[in-house]
Amino acid sequence: MIIDKLFETVAKKGHVCLGLDTSIDYLPENFKNQFDNEEDAIFNFNKKIIEATKDIVACYKVQIAYYEALGLKGLNAYKKTLDYIKSTQNIIISDVKRGDIAKTAEMYAKAHFEGDFETDFITLNPYMGFDTLEPFLPYLKNKEKGIFALLKTSNPGFKDIQFIESKNGKKVYEIIGEKISSIAQNYMGNNEYSSLGAVVGCTSTEEGQNVRNTLKNIFFLIPGYGAQGGAAEEVSVYLKNKNGGVVNSSRGILLGYKKYDNGEKNFDECARKETLKMRDDILNVL
């Protein structure tokens, strides 16, 4: 199953999930000016980042909104990016955060698990109800695909809904977690984790140990490291035996070149340096 491949990759290459949330504004001016259009500029920027980091990341997370914002040319850059990552034999998480029901959800599943935008994992939002997951689940068993469902996010307003307490004293995110864990048992890999994983932000660790202890078989996608304020110590709470999750960083790596003198000329090498720093930072804490 795809989760076994991700588990084994983390064991070999570390926990870094490099986020290709590529805004045209992130590209160094001299590089951007080499291209006639934004589609080619963004794809070639991504390509250089991927080439520089493909041997030291566990996976890439491609946030579709950055590409949708540019219309058809942006979606073409998105497809080219997915195809190029596939050519390097690396794992892709497409960050699409879909959350709908019935036929609409079925079409979202087809859009991202088949065809031009086919990927390995996608992010889903189950807060509309667990029937939002159902059309995607057959792909986990039959098509070697995976899901990361939003559980406890890293945004400032996560407590607005996720921390509301039910009549029995459990918070909403805890109820969501129990249900995810229950469904996940039907899609277990060989390394004790399920292909139905969860998104847990590392910017709040008060409940982190409880989440990890409760969701023993759930592999985590962990945003919040770096630019969002999360540190390796906070990340480590959500990992288990040096595995069990990947840690995303986007701006911290894509804009890493700004930390170096003349970094714009070698932004890909700077991205590699920042990736190695992040990988070793996490491993040292573990």
Predicted confidence pLDDT, tens digits, the chain (286 residues):
999 999 999 999 999 999 999 999 999 999 999 999 999 999 999 999 999 999 999 999 999 999 999 999 999 999 999 999 999 999 999 999 999 999 999 999 999 999 999 999 999 999 999 999 999 999 998 889 999 999 988 788 888 888 889 888 888 999 999 999 999 999 999 999 999 999 998 866 667 888 998 999 999 999 978 655 567 888 888 999 999 999 999 999 999 999 998 889 999 999 999 999 999 999 998 8
Q: Residue 189 in contact with residue 139, Cβ under 8 Å?
A: no
Q: Residue 219 in contact with residue 244, Cβ under 8 Å?
A: yes
Spacing of C-alpha 179 from chain mean position:
21
- Name which of 144, 153, 203 is nearest 176 in CA terms: 153
Q: CA-based Rg of the chain, rounded to a whole angstrom?
A: 18
Question: Which structural domain, as residue segments, surrounds residue 248?
Answer: 2-285
**Does 265 participate in catalysis according to the annotation?**
no
Q: Return the pLDDT at 157.
A: 86
Amino acid at 102: A
Q: Residue 46 in contact with residue 20, Cβ under 8 Å?
A: yes
Check the CA dihedral 200-47-136-195 and report its sign. Answer: negative
Paired with 123 in beta bridges are 148
Token code pair at residue 209:
């140990």
Number of domains present in the structure of the chain: 1
Q: Indicate which residue of 97, 110, 171, 265 is catalytic.
A: 97
Q: Return the pLDDT at 153.
A: 84
* Triad 18, 277, 1: Cα angle to 5°: 40
Q: Residue 64 in contact with residue 96, Cβ under 8 Å?
A: yes
Give the count of beta carbons closer than 10 Å to the beta carbon of residue 233: 12
Q: Residue 41 in contact with residue 25, Cβ under 8 Å?
A: no
Token code pair at residue 226:
């770096």
Q: Return the pLDDT at 204.
A: 62
CATH code for position 157: 3.20.20.70
Round to whole Å and give the CA distance between 263 and 153. Answer: 32
Q: Return the pLDDT at 265.
A: 93
Q: Return the pLDDT at 249.
A: 94
Task: Supply φ then ψ for residue 70, to 5 degrees.
Answer: -100, 5
pTM for the model:
0.95
Round to whole Å and give the CA distance between 259 and 43. Answer: 23
β-bridge pairing 220-222 and 16-19: unpaired
